[in-house]
Amino acid sequence: MKKVVFIHGMFVTNRCWNEWMEYFSQRGFECEAPGWPLKDFSPSELRAKHPDFDGEGKMKLADIVLFFEKRISQLKDNTIVIGHSLGGLIVQILLSKGLGSAGVAIDSAPPKGVLTTKLSFLKSNWPVLNPFSPRAMPLLLTKKQFQYDFADHLNGSRLDHAYEGVVPQSKLVGLGALTNDAKIDFTKKKTPLLFIAGERDNIIPASLNESNYQKYARNNSRTDFKIFPRRTHYLINDDGWQEIADYILNWLNAL
């Protein structure tokens, strides 16, 4: 049986994958979605602990990557890794280290050196990048910030419901994407990788996803790219998320 490990991104928990786990389980996959270190609690529990809890403010990207390296190393060779946002970057790092039989990076945070000056990207990431903000203090997005970054099409009760899943996040994890912890040798990947982008994604614009994908041009293993029209960064939990899941399943079955 093939196994899928789902990797969540910043400001959310592994609960964002609950419906995806059910979808893939019903189609014959063994699934798991490990919570990041210090994050394996409900959103309400984590928010109640804000502004800092158990050293969350000191958590770095390297800590998260090491956690998943150890987990994937314990599993069989046919393990597929699927990540969203910062989780997509972790998928890329894992594949570059020879871990995982295939990967899917959805709205992936870019590795070191893959940049954009697009205004929406700079605006969305400013709360993490802001040099005047205490780096050791975890960040909890306001509802307005979450709406712009993740789901600018949501309003009212739908926005309220989506925001209930938002949790505090160490800024150092996001800043790690600018360091050697997120440096990738794009020629080292030996297994298939699918990039998925949302056309209306503010925090990780589709053009940035495409630039990320193009870095693998000289890689001999399969690398594919797909843009979903009208989709935002919230695409894995938005209405119609099954469209993305169906596409991924068909891509995996065709390998």
Angstrom CA distances, 127 to 49, 62, 140, 203, stand at 20, 21, 10, 12
Beta bridge partners of 84: 106
Per-domain residue ranges of the chain: 3-253
3-253, which class in CATH?
alpha beta
Based on the number of CB atoms within 10 Å of its own CB, is 152 exposed (0-12), middle (13-18) or buried (19 or more)? middle
Token pair of 154, please? 């949501």
DSSP, res 3: E
Rounded CA-CA distance 134/253 in Å is 46
pTM of the model: 0.97
pLDDT of residue 136: 87
Q: Nearest CA to 197 among 209, 187, 180?
A: 209
3-state secondary structure 126-150: HHHHCCCCCCCCCECCCHHHHHHHH
pLDDT of residue 107: 98
Rounded CA-CA distance 141/105 in Å is 23
Rounded CA-CA distance 40/168 in Å is 13
pLDDT of residue 76: 75
pLDDT of residue 96: 97
pLDDT (tens place) for every residue of the chain, 255 residues total = 899 999 999 999 999 999 999 999 999 999 999 999 999 899 999 999 898 667 899 999 999 999 999 999 999 778 999 999 999 999 999 999 999 999 999 999 999 999 899 999 999 999 999 999 888 899 999 999 999 999 999 999 999 999 999 999 999 999 999 999 999 999 999 999 999 999 999 999 999 999 999 999 999 999 999 999 999 999 999 999 999 999 999 999 999
Question: Is residue 145 within 8 Å of 117, Cβ to Cβ?
Answer: no
Token pair of 44, please? 């309400």
